[in-house]
Amino acid sequence: MAGQVKTLRLILGDQLNYQHSWFKQEQKNLLYVFMEMRQETDYVLHHIQKIVGFFRSMRNFAEYLRKREHEVIYLKINDLRNQQILSKNLSWLISEYKIEKFEYQLPDEFRLDKQLKDFCKGLSIVSEAYDTEHFFTSREDLAKFYEGKKQMTMEYFYREMRKKHEILLVNEKDPEGGKWNFDKTNRKKWMGKPEIPHERGFRKDISETLQEIRKAEIKSFGNIDAGKYNWPTSREDSLSVLNYFCKNLLVHFGDFQDAMHISEAYLFHSRLSFALNTKMLSPKEVIDSVIGHWRENQDQIDISQVEGFVRQILGWREYMRGIYWKEMPGYKQANKLSNQNKLPEFYWNANTKMNCLKHSIKQSLDNAYAHHIQRLMITGNYALLTQTHPDEVDAWYLGIYIDAIEWVEITNTRGMSQFADGGLVATKPYVSSGAYINKMSNYCKGCVYDVKKKTGENSCPFNSLYWNFLNTKREYFQNNRRMAMMLKMLDKKSNQELSKIKERDHSIISNPQNF
């Protein structure tokens, strides 16, 4: 009988959707499997907090299912039955448990999607793929939206998403607050006021998980405190972080979302990205909670704080996923600026005299976290200005950040940050001299380099790197209207000044360990 078919259901590490319809169905003859595999820990060098975060979150979800009487098999990293490769483990399970049907949720990474499709082609039993029931869009929605259009602009996609899902609208078609986008009010520098509440932490003891990872001899980098793990690793934790953000941080989130500060790692950011990207929280419930809290407190919270947050999740997050599925697998090889240099060693140890890079990288090593402007305008900016190969940049970003999964990492890194796609994601390269960093942070205070000097021994490296990058790569930007003003400024520089800029640039790129 059909009802007696033994079905194996795979749950990947970023598919921890507690609300998935799978778990609301009759559970007879269903076996759920979770796997901790070297295939996943080793394809790039990961931050130790990222490995711990995924293992703990997977284990918590498996335990949640067991408590609700679901049948679960969990292959830990050191389990002797674990063959460390997805297809090999699945083949063994199908044989061992006499499985007659294999089911999985659509992966969000191209490599896993291909691996599972190839695996299913060789099966002698029935297989079926399901939606993860997480995103607002399907894989193909963005490609359909831009079909026939000359250029993709996130803003128009974002507005369509607002209308389609009736979010922050009046009269079903107009933006609440009179504007679609309050980005211009989201660029304040934080000067010590208002006071920033401490992040919602957990102080978990993860020593047992850490010991297992070390026993498996998994290579990793970054720092960790075994008695104070600070990331949400369960549905309960994730809801707690969401609630804390709404009550304590939302009120100033929009104003300071682009700010950077030496003594503040998180500022007013939510720290929800790991919970979202593992699917412990859904984007809809996050947006609904934030808007709901704002509606109850409109006398205290301006709409600009809320819209800035909604734009990141409903707009940017869905947009990047759509780009990923539209452009892969070719996107992974994009290098339109022909950059070839290696990533400096200090990206792995923060051993640099440049204050902005030292603090941003040290924070990343300590917390497996940096917010989007630190990633874009400090570490990403420097990598692009030094003409680093995007493969090098991808590997670092994918490894160091706890929320980095390829669909969201590569589109932000290779597209937004490194302009390696030639302008598919960003309409201009996000590069700057030291002036922007000084405007948005206090990194330049106390730095051994002078942010106002363009050349000379103690000049800010970002200044000469910026102007020489424009000069070296100007052929790529000649027809870019958004770059016209900067190229005109470049044209006004004398040959003597350009020569000094080039000399300083060459010194920095050739000897990054000296800076």
pLDDT tens string 361-391: 999 999 999 999 999 999 999 999 999 999 9
- Backbone angles phi and psi of 13, in degrees to 5: -65, -20
Sign of CA dihedral 468, 471, 477, 482: positive
pLDDT at 280 over 70: yes
Do 67 and 24 belong to one domain?
yes
| Closest residue by Cα to residue 253 from 312, 180, 203, 325 | 312
Do 283 and 301 belong to one domain?
yes
| Over residues 59-82, mean pLDDT | 97
How many domains are contained in the chain? 3
Per the prediction, the chain carries an average pLDDT of: 95
The predicted pLDDT at position 446 comes to 86
In a domain, 313, yes or no: yes
In a domain, 409, yes or no: yes
In a domain, 502, yes or no: yes
Note every long-range contact of 195-202, with CB atoms under 8 Å and residues 24 or more positions apart, other chains counting: 196/264, 196/266, 196/267, 196/268, 197/248, 197/249, 199/230, 199/265, 199/266, 199/271, 200/240, 200/241, 200/244, 200/245, 200/271, 201/228, 201/230, 202/229, 202/230, 202/231, 202/232, 202/237
Do 420 and 355 belong to one domain?
yes
Domain span at residue 487 reads 335-514
Which of 169-173, 241-245, 288-292 has the weakest average pLDDT? 169-173
pLDDT at 506 over 90: yes
In a domain, 211, yes or no: yes
Tokens read off for 435: 């002036």
Do 360 and 471 belong to one domain?
yes
| Over residues 320-346, mean pLDDT | 97
Do 491 and 387 belong to one domain?
yes
| Over residues 67-79, mean pLDDT | 96
> Tokens 């000379």 label which residue?
456
CATH assignment at residue 304? 1.25.40.80
pLDDT at 3 over 70: no
The predicted pLDDT at position 146 comes to 94
The predicted pLDDT at position 147 comes to 92
In percent, the amount of the chain with pLDDT more than 70 equals 99
- List beta partners, residue 170: 174
CATH assignment at residue 121? 3.40.50.620
In a domain, 497, yes or no: yes
pLDDT tens string 44-64: 999 999 999 999 999 999 999
CATH assignment at residue 426? 1.10.579.10
**Which residue, 287, 305, 327, sits at the end of a domain?**
327
Q: How many residues does the chain have?
A: 515
Using pLDDT thresholds of 50, 70 and 90, give the confidence band for residue 113.
Answer: very high
In a domain, 51, yes or no: yes
pLDDT at 125 over 90: yes
In a domain, 136, yes or no: no
Do 150 and 257 belong to one domain?
yes
**Which residue, 311, 327, 343, sits at the end of a domain?**
327
Do 125 and 14 belong to one domain?
yes
Do 43 and 82 belong to one domain?
yes
The predicted pLDDT at position 221 comes to 97
The predicted pLDDT at position 150 comes to 80
The gap between the terminal CA atoms of the chain, to the nearest Å, is: 71
In a domain, 135, yes or no: no
pLDDT at 430 over 90: yes
Q: CA-CA distance, 354 to 182, in Å (whole number)?
A: 32
The predicted pLDDT at position 183 comes to 80
pLDDT at 2 over 50: no
Contact (Cβ atoms closer than 8 angstroms) between residue 486 and residue 452: no
Q: CA-CA distance, 316 to 257, in Å (whole number)?
A: 14
Do 76 and 102 belong to one domain?
yes
| DSSP string over 164-229 | HTT-SEETTTEEGGG-S--GGGS-PPP-S-SPPPPP----B--HHHHHHHHHTT--EES---TT-B
Do 220 and 257 belong to one domain?
yes
| Closest residue by Cα to residue 26 from 74, 64, 71, 58 | 71
Q: CA-CA distance, 346 to 386, in Å (whole number)?
A: 14
Using pLDDT thresholds of 50, 70 and 90, give the confidence band for residue 1.
Answer: very low
Using pLDDT thresholds of 50, 70 and 90, give the confidence band for residue 511.
Answer: very high
**Which residue, 327, 346, 371, sits at the end of a domain?**
327
Do 339 and 323 belong to one domain?
no
Tokens read off for 461: 């490296």
Do 273 and 400 belong to one domain?
no
